[in-house]
Structure 1
Amino acid sequence: MPRTARTRWRVGLTTTALLTAAALVPAPAHAEDVTDYAITVDPSSAKGAKIDDMMYGVFFEDINRAADGGLYAELVQNRSFEYSTADNGSYTPLTSWTVGGTAQVVDDSGRLNERNRNYLSLGAGSTVTNAGYNTGVRVEQGKTYDFSVWARAQGGTTLTVTLKDTAGTLATARQVAVKGGWAQYKATFTATRTSNRGRLAVASTNAAALDMVSLFPRDTYKNQPNGLRKDLAEKIAALKPGFVRFPGGCLVNTGSMEDYSEASGWQRKRSYQWKDTVGPVEERATNANFWGYNQSYGLGYYEYFRLSEDIGAMPLPVVPALVTGCGQNKATDDGALLERHIQDTLDLIEFANGPATSTWGKVRARMGHPKPFHLTHIEVGNEENLPKEFFARFQQFRAAVEAKYPDVTVISNSGPDDAGSTFDTAWQLNREAKVDMVDEHYYNSPNWFLQNNDRYDSYDRNGPKVFLGEYASQGNAWKNGLSEAAFMTGLERNADVVKLASYAPLLANEDYVQWRPDMIWFNNRASWNSANYEVQKLFMTNVGDRVVPSKATTTPNVSGPITGAVGLSTWATSAAYDDVKVTSADGSTLLSDDFSGDASKWTGSGRGSWSIQDGSYVQTDAATENTMVTAGDPAWKDYDLHVKATKKSGKEGFLVAFGVKDTGNYYWWNLGGWNNTQSAIEQAVDGGKGTLMTKAGSIETGRAHDIDIKVRGRHVTLYLDGKEWGSFSDDKPAEPFRQVVTEDAKTGDLIVKVVNAQSAEARTAVDLGGAKVASTARVTTLAADEGAVNTETDTPVTPVTSTFRGVAGKFTYTFPANSVTFLRIKQK
């Protein structure tokens, strides 16, 4: 809150006195000892948790074109002509290609191999041109690029390969003589100028067959063959991550579990299976990506292991558990298929760790890495909504791995949310089975992260450890980074419980976005760090080895009762509403609408298609998301809301809102959300939503439901068809001032980490508890306007380093508004 609205308290000498002083009369603002907050450190205590070197890592999933067109350095899109409508309704085998002359894509017995089924039959005198990704094929003046193609021409032909843009040539053309059956042909280009809009063209004098048309920059990360885009890999490496979780995510446990068969051809929309992704790239599959495009598997398990090794991180692969997630909610009962996947998991460990003479270690060695990759952790499953079905199968994976590889930790998970019936059931099963580590995922509002710094304070210290495999607040503005930083101080304070943590997702191509927020953004010419990245990097490169116990005063909580209007909404669903009535606590009617006339009491954003039909207010668009209309006064408090709701068609149920202040601030009861698998209370704060409670359940189409919501102060009780569904109290403060202190064993530094997530500076008294320290501290500060967003051309959230020369056993430091500050203080 603004300084003018926040009380400033006199600082005492002890923690007890500090807390007691908060209830006293404010001291004069001009007094020298007046501060806003106080931090008290106890460096002599032995209670601080040990922090593992691998605590913070990165999570890579092929979402937002993170692999092809992103981290994987290949510059040709759809290089093997395998794009399909199964991947995306707009795709054809010639997507990203333009034909000059005659050409057709063929799938017959003349194919390159069974995994690479399509090839291009190019007519004599014809040309085929590739458009690359984003605006085109990116080349830089003076850089070397390696071209390759698999080709066949029984009568012989000459291929002329060119790199051009609309302004002219980008490199000297190359000619390749082709004759006979399938063989790989190569050429090298040196770019004569820089362009973001290049086109790669292959022309043939006579008829020829082409496949796997490729153009790679020679300058990949660590100069690895079939390598990674250098600037993106360097940004990942700069985080100094302790682990790399791969390849997903929803990518892992969605799609068909079926195998390839001659009858069906290659299975499109097949679940991610690691054996599809290793070996020579021309023998690897392509597949439909869960996020709506094609994935080539050129970036496969071998490359993930190699990246982990190159950046000094622990590899942490995820394998499917034969229970789908991410809204699909299916479990296989095929025992033979389950056994095959369990064996695949054992084979994966052998691929990573086995000697070069073993079956799968030999595959790794042939790919260029005879030494093991030292795999120590593996995760089974991801965000399954069927916890009992998942856990029954997980136990079989776990038993098989532990029997053959007892030193490998097998990680379980707790579903897709931070709370709710699925989460509770999963955790109970994991605790009872004494699982070593459980993966938690959540994406919530900045407000939720400020409110839940203490989430892990009450976790069982002797139970399963936590792997926070995916988390982020909903946005890439600086306010999101601030809230995540505040939350991370709680992760570090609980480092004895939270052993691993990774922000998600890692990468986003700005022209192919399915999900946001994201840590690193890029296009075909540049990449840039989000505000969230800068927070992650600051924490990941200044972890420390143990937590030093510390305490801080807090901000006075001035929240009042829940206030706001009411609303009706749908999400990819058509629904009808009737008999809306809002009654105040004293019994007076605030709103009554049976829709026997018009809908003049309601206003909306214009999304969806609302109309009066047969005495109900009906939203008929079953595709549009968040169609909310509202009525009433934003100042309403202490009221009862009744509405009758009926799902008519679509994927989900319906949403009834209350406490509506504006389009970005409200609560709603989401009944039949997540593809009609569960219901939840969600709170939106400044446009970002967080989940307050969830329960499994679906909404029946065509059935009228009575919805009643009782709001009293900050407590809310919800009734579905006359029975209490649940209740909650939203009375937890969103504390903007958070801190943690760690110690670096190697340097002896105390690292004081402070987050001030408010629009006023925080003058703070710091008591180092008798520690003998140097008089100067190395300071790293991230500070910006809370709405600041880093872009390709402007990075307002950038670390600033400085020196503070006023350090003593007790000193005062002013933390800037909207800031994250790390003070590294030398101990004598």
Structure 2
Amino acid sequence: MITITAEKKENAKYTGDLYGIFFEDLNHAADGGLYGELIRNRAFEFCPTDNPSYTHLTAWKKNDGEGEVNLVIETGSPVSQKNPHYLGIDIIAPGENTGVINTGYSKGIPAEAGKIYDFSFYARREQMTDKKIKVQLVSKDGKAHAQSEFFITDRWQKYEAELSPDKTDDEYNLLISAEGRGKVYIDFVSLFPRETFNGRKNGLRKDLAEKLKELKPAFLRFPGGCLVHDGSLNSEEHDSQYRWKNSIGRIEDRPSRRNNWGYNQSLGLGFYEYFLLCEDIGAKPLPVLPAGYDPHHFRACSMDKMQEFIQDALDLVEFANGTPDTTWGKIRTEMGHEKPFNLEYLGIGNEEVGEDFPPRFKIIRDAVKEKYPELKIIGSSGPFAEGSEFELGWNKAKEFKADLVDEHYYMAPEWFIENARRYMNYKAEGPHVFLGEYASWGNTWKNALYEAAFMTFLEKAPAVHLACYAPLFCHTDYVNWKPDMIWFNSTSSITSANYEIQKLFMHNTGDTLVNTVSSADGKTLLKDESPDSIPGKIYLSFNTASVFYSDIILTEIKDDGKISRSKKIKDCTVNASNRKVSIGKIKSKKWKLTLNAKELSAKQGFRIYFGETKNRRFLWEIGGWQNQDSAVCEEINGKSSCLHQHRIIVQRNTDYKLTLECDGKKIKAYINGVLFHDTESKPFAPELLYQSLTEDDEYFYFKSVNVLESGQEVSVSLEGTGCSAAAAEMTLYEGFPMDAENTFEKPFSFKPKKGTVSLKDNHLIFTMPAFSAAAFKIKKQQ
């Protein structure tokens, strides 16, 4: 039996804000997703800047009906100069149903029989103002199932109507047709379900928002993500970074913008709506702002022009927290929210790399802290768990006195077991850790369970104050990234195993950590075929370039340091025609590879695969994403973990002397004699039990995770807490195959078992089944 003893300590860690959620508009998470708007390209602002396939008429098509019509995009005298394009419907020959159709997102516009949908648009016409404009929801066969009629004038005016279809269909089109001849102009064509989340106008899709509320997150990080910093530094340009001031005020005056994930963002779901969402689901707002720097395109605002970005940060705090008599507090009040949103956290930058970010972070941080010293400012350590950019981010965050540092990584599920104690050696005094994006690659029970084991140590580590899984949403027809916590289509949504684990932890974490001592602490079960070496095949490959490798020598070394075998390998060129070249298979614990590499064409440099066995291999990639990185990665069952990163840009037709050394599980890599990587592959050795204990005034919350194939008997003593307890409410997830996954194609229910467990003499005794996660909510007795 594993025995666990709880004991209270002074100055215990605060855990009340630990688990939150992160929203970024990728996978059409906002437009076509959480944002309730059903009309795609409602303001005719889609363009090739958003996506090469887009035009201003994307999702619109003419409908001649019984007449003839042409569609023309206009820009003169628009409804709003912020969104200058609108549609001219030129009726050449009048007839029934002659006009234009909007196809909505995905396969069509979903609507339920008897439900009310709020339609609105701006319209005017040049002549024949006595002729009707008709709006209809039509099915694929052309039959109308809801309609309304208007007479419009020769001046822009907003018109509204209720549409209530007589049939449920998720493939409706919206048809706008006109009687008579001549031009009819329309803009900001909108259709919202009346039943939005909390009944708000310009509101959110109910089922998706309810799933967020059900989690009970402590905070919501928004609006990104790479969405924040990717784009032009000029807020007036269509491809600008996400600038919060563009996302508030009248919908018509929010300029449509490019989304860096390959589509358009209307900004109908903007900062005001994000703050409202936080309020509605009981989460603290955690907005993220750009720092005048775009690392994806090497753009940096000159330091003497940073005032615009500084002022954006100051004004955001005033918008969120200012009284109605302040400039931005007044704007918030005029939008409908007099009370402040009580902003406590502010992120500056996202996954920032390079030397240009830290000084820009500093001047924004200093200005905000001078005016709002109580606000917690969050810096960035980049998108890697280890390496040069990670170290730069942390060192500068400490130097510039960030309150928290935002870490991001996506790894193989095994990495989360191998690195479960990652944060236990971080210093408690700060800056503290905000684990702003993390996930294992996949939505299976195995992924969720291994993440759960990792999360128990997020609670225990004094340095970790905030954490959120990412990404949050994915539309099944618009997949940019996976895994994701919640999947949806146009009519329904499902949750993943990862969602269930996040909910388990969010529902069962108090505000204070309680120290525990376990008889299983540090005890592991080794499950690694090569726990002390990296054997296997070695290949030379390429990324997108044609690469020439020369002077290739592979050396195996004995334990006493003497060479057991040295092999010179023939020079080779690797490209799309041969993909990769095998140069040997290693059995020794210690070995060394030296070679010269030259990029002949294209970009993104070199790839060296090593340690390849049945289920595992390693990769040294030089050049990498956007030709900015050198990285050593480990792949297990096709899922990759970046072990270490270093900044580099590979130059074409330049010789690079590469050296790769493995000594046991330790890996060193040199470029031109300079050590770029010094890292280690940890053996896969799960602990016998993962557990954590927190409390609030009323309850203890004990969580345990068993990732092993056998059950564990567990006894938890609360005697050292100074409190007594008689019973615990149990929530247990168990009995699921490790590869189980909930999808629309193959639904799988991760339904927990619930029950009551009696305590005996202040001891909680239970069996932890194989491959299970559980939480016990224990009522305190006075």
- TM-score scaled by length of structure 1: 0.87
In the TM superposition, residue 47 of structure 1 has moved relative to its aligned partner by 4.9
Q: Which residue of 2 aligns with 1:522?
A: 488
> Is residue 616 of structure 1 aligned with residue 573 of structure 2?
yes
Tell me, yes or no, if the aligned pair for 1:81 and 1:105 is still in contact at 8 Å.
Answer: no
Q: Which residue of 2 aligns with 1:706?
A: 657
Q: Which residue of 2 aligns with 1:280?
A: 250
Matches within 5 A, 1:649-660: 649-660=601-612
CA displacement 1:612-643 (0-9 Å, x = unmatched): xxx5233369xxxxx66656558665433344
In the TM superposition, residue 706 of structure 1 has moved relative to its aligned partner by 3.3
In the TM superposition, residue 761 of structure 1 has moved relative to its aligned partner by 2.6
Q: Which residue of 2 aligns with 1:385?
A: 353
> Of 459, 469, 473, which residue of structure 2 is paired with 1:503?
469
Cα 1:768–1:571 change in 2 (3 A) is farther
> Is residue 464 of structure 1 aligned with residue 431 of structure 2?
yes
> Of 311, 315, 321, which residue of structure 2 is paired with 1:347?
315
> Of 746, 750, 756, which residue of structure 2 is paired with 1:797?
750
| Distance of 1:780 and 1:170 partners within structure 2 | 49
Matched AA of 2:617: Y
Secondary structure of 2:32's aligned partner:
coil
> Is residue 213 of structure 1 aligned with residue 164 of structure 2?
no
Tell me, yes or no, if the aligned pair for 1:773 and 1:807 is still in contact at 8 Å.
Answer: no
Q: Which residue of 2 aligns with 1:490?
A: 457
In the TM superposition, residue 376 of structure 1 has moved relative to its aligned partner by 2.1
Tell me, yes or no, if the aligned pair for 2:387 and 2:645 is still in contact at 8 Å.
Answer: yes
| Distance of 1:676 and 1:217 partners within structure 2 | 45
Cα 1:629–1:301 change in 2 (3 A) is farther
| Distance of 1:571 and 1:645 partners within structure 2 | 13
Cα 1:561–1:48 change in 2 (3 A) is farther
Tell me, yes or no, if the aligned pair for 2:729 and 2:778 is still in contact at 8 Å.
Answer: yes
Cα 1:630–1:98 change in 2 (3 A) is farther
In the TM superposition, residue 259 of structure 1 has moved relative to its aligned partner by 4.2
| Distance of 1:655 and 1:446 partners within structure 2 | 23
Q: Which residue of 1 aligns with 2:301?
A: 332
Q: Which residue of 1 aligns with 2:613?
A: 661
Q: Which residue of 1 aligns with 2:703?
A: 753
Cα 1:288–1:620 change in 2 (3 A) is farther
> Of 62, 72, 75, which residue of structure 1 is paired with 2:25?
62
Secondary structure of 1:57's aligned partner:
strand
| Distance of 2:178 and 2:566 partners within structure 1 | 77
CA displacement 1:180-199 (0-9 Å, x = unmatched): 21111111111212111111
Cα 1:462–1:142 change in 2 (3 A) is same
Q: Which residue of 2 aligns with 1:162?
A: 136
CA displacement 1:467-520 (0-9 Å, x = unmatched): 1111111221121111211111111012x4222111111111111111111111
In the TM superposition, residue 330 of structure 1 has moved relative to its aligned partner by 2.8
Matched AA of 1:525: T
> Of 281, 284, 292, which residue of structure 2 is paired with 1:311?
281
Q: Which moved more, 1:777-786 or 1:45-54?
A: 45-54
Matches within 5 A, 1:390-789: 390-494=357-461, 496-552=462-518, 553=520, 554-557=523-526, 559-578=531-550, 580-585=552-557, 587=563, 593-594=569-570, 616-619=573-576, 632-633=584-585, 638-662=590-614, 665-722=616-673, 724-731=675-682, 733-748=684-699, 750-769=700-719, 774=725, 776-783=727-734, 784-789=736-741
> Is residue 88 of structure 1 aligned with residue 40 of structure 2?
no
Q: Which residue of 2 aligns with 1:146?
A: 118
Matches within 5 A, 1:50-129: 50-101=13-64, 102-124=69-91, 125=94, 126-129=98-101
Secondary structure of 1:181's aligned partner:
coil
Secondary structure of 1:412's aligned partner:
strand
In the TM superposition, residue 767 of structure 1 has moved relative to its aligned partner by 4.4
Secondary structure of 2:491's aligned partner:
coil
Q: Which moved more, 1:681-690 or 1:104-113?
A: 104-113
| Distance of 2:31 and 2:574 partners within structure 1 | 46
| Distance of 1:498 and 1:324 partners within structure 2 | 27
Tell me, yes or no, if the aligned pair for 1:84 and 1:92 is still in contact at 8 Å.
Answer: yes
| Distance of 2:404 and 2:555 partners within structure 1 | 48
| Distance of 1:231 and 1:273 partners within structure 2 | 28
Matched AA of 1:111: P
Tell me, yes or no, if the aligned pair for 2:646 and 2:676 is still in contact at 8 Å.
Answer: no
Q: Which moved more, 1:141-150 or 1:372-381?
A: 372-381
Tell me, yes or no, if the aligned pair for 2:542 and 2:575 is still in contact at 8 Å.
Answer: no
Matched AA of 1:686: N
In the TM superposition, residue 312 of structure 1 has moved relative to its aligned partner by 1.4
Matched AA of 2:642: T
Cα 1:355–1:64 change in 2 (3 A) is same
Matches within 5 A, 1:248-267: 248-260=224-236, 267=237
Tell me, yes or no, if the aligned pair for 1:788 and 1:796 is still in contact at 8 Å.
Answer: no
Q: Which moved more, 1:634-643 or 1:412-421?
A: 634-643
Cα 1:359–1:562 change in 2 (3 A) is same
Tell me, yes or no, if the aligned pair for 1:245 and 1:315 is still in contact at 8 Å.
Answer: yes
Q: Which residue of 2 aligns with 1:369?
A: 337
In the TM superposition, residue 66 of structure 1 has moved relative to its aligned partner by 0.5
Tell me, yes or no, if the aligned pair for 2:62 and 2:71 is still in contact at 8 Å.
Answer: no
Q: Which residue of 1 aligns with 2:328?
A: 360
Cα 1:367–1:728 change in 2 (3 A) is closer
Tell me, yes or no, if the aligned pair for 2:233 and 2:293 is still in contact at 8 Å.
Answer: no
Tell me, yes or no, if the aligned pair for 1:355 and 1:362 is still in contact at 8 Å.
Answer: yes
Cα 1:172–1:40 change in 2 (3 A) is closer
Q: Which moved more, 1:576-585 or 1:477-486?
A: 576-585
| Distance of 2:395 and 2:245 partners within structure 1 | 33
Secondary structure of 1:760's aligned partner:
coil
Matched AA of 2:657: D
Matched AA of 1:363: I
Matched AA of 1:151: A
Secondary structure of 1:68's aligned partner:
helix
Tell me, yes or no, if the aligned pair for 1:489 and 1:738 is still in contact at 8 Å.
Answer: no
Cα 1:167–1:773 change in 2 (3 A) is farther
CA displacement 1:99-120 (0-9 Å, x = unmatched): 1243334243222221111111
Q: Which moved more, 1:530-539 or 1:106-115?
A: 106-115
In the TM superposition, residue 333 of structure 1 has moved relative to its aligned partner by 1.1
Cα 1:215–1:634 change in 2 (3 A) is farther
Secondary structure of 1:457's aligned partner:
helix
| Distance of 2:441 and 2:663 partners within structure 1 | 29
Matches within 5 A, 1:193-208: 193-205=167-179, 206=181, 207-208=183-184
Matched AA of 2:137: L
Tell me, yes or no, if the aligned pair for 1:171 and 1:189 is still in contact at 8 Å.
Answer: no
CA RMSD for the aligned pairs?
A: 2.4
Cα 1:642–1:380 change in 2 (3 A) is same
| Distance of 1:759 and 1:640 partners within structure 2 | 38
| Distance of 1:634 and 1:127 partners within structure 2 | 70
Secondary structure of 1:93's aligned partner:
coil
Q: Which moved more, 1:302-311 or 1:641-650?
A: 641-650
Secondary structure of 1:448's aligned partner:
helix
In the TM superposition, residue 651 of structure 1 has moved relative to its aligned partner by 4.0
